[in-house]
Amino acid sequence: MEPLQKTVNFKPKLDAVKQEVDRNEDMIRSALRAIASLNRTRFINFILNKFQVFISGIIMGTQNELNDIPSFVGS
């Protein structure tokens, strides 16, 4: 779980070139696909409570990031 979590939470440097940003976004999408596949497997959810905690953390982190995006409505 830790490698998936590190991949999803990784932030590129502020001075990263577009290729690095695109690569990071591709890695995040791939990790999220893997997480979604694992989440569909009831056996994983039943056996690994840690996985549920991980999924909840990803969801909460995503919601927090969406809340941090400034709104430019009316600009």
What's the DSSP call for residue 13?
Answer: -
Block residue for tokens 């890695």: 27
Structural domain for 53, as ranges: 2-68
Question: Would you state the pLDDT for residue 26?
Answer: 94
Q: Rounded mean pLDDT of 58-73?
A: 61
Please check whether residue 42 lies inside any domain of the structure. Answer: yes
For residue 73, being part of any structural domain is answered with no
- 6 in any annotated domain: yes
pTM score? 0.56
Domain count, the chain: 1
Q: What is the pLDDT of residues 50-65, one digit of tens each?
A: 777 777 888 777 666 5
Model pLDDT for residues 7-50, shown as the tens digit of each residue: 888 888 889 899 999 999 999 999 989 888 877 776 665 667 77
